[in-house]
Copies of this chain bind each other. A is one copy, B any other.
């Protein structure tokens, strides 16, 4: 079997939900910061591997979404892992500028505390100028 077919077979053996989606945890390959959470389907995972840039399936827009294609905030893929249940991906990436469309490097910039929400990060870009 050719490499490409083997890879396709492995991808097809992962577990997708009723909508054909698999959750993906996106982590900064360099410092380990969890940056965002999104969904892929079989095809966007294949595209991610082929292109080397994280490509998701947008549930709200029902289309492929190459992260950063409009903002320039792309995610170069370093490694992809899947979990013991084969139903979740961990993708280690090199993030350009920031992952979050709200101006923060990570989407997880709010801590849930007993005193209420607490912003724990500084903005790294002005989202009104990019999005």
Interface size of A by Cβ–Cβ distance < 8 Å? 40
What separation, in Å, do the CA atoms of A11 and B116 have in the docked complex? 10
Docked complex: A106-121 residues within 8 A CB-CB of B = 107-112, 114-117, 120
Main secondary structure of the interface of A (DSSP, over half): mixed
CB distance B34 to A112 under 8 Å? no
CB distance A102 to B117 under 8 Å? no
Residues of the B chain whose Cβ atoms lie less than 8 Å from the Cβ of A11:
112
List residues of A whose CB falls within 8 A of some B CB: 3, 6-7, 10-11, 23, 25, 27, 31-34, 36-37, 49, 79-85, 88-90, 100-102, 104, 107-112, 114-117, 120
Q: 7 closest A-B pairs (Cβ-Cβ)?
A: A32-B32, A83-B107, A81-B108, A37-B88, A90-B108, A80-B112, A84-B107
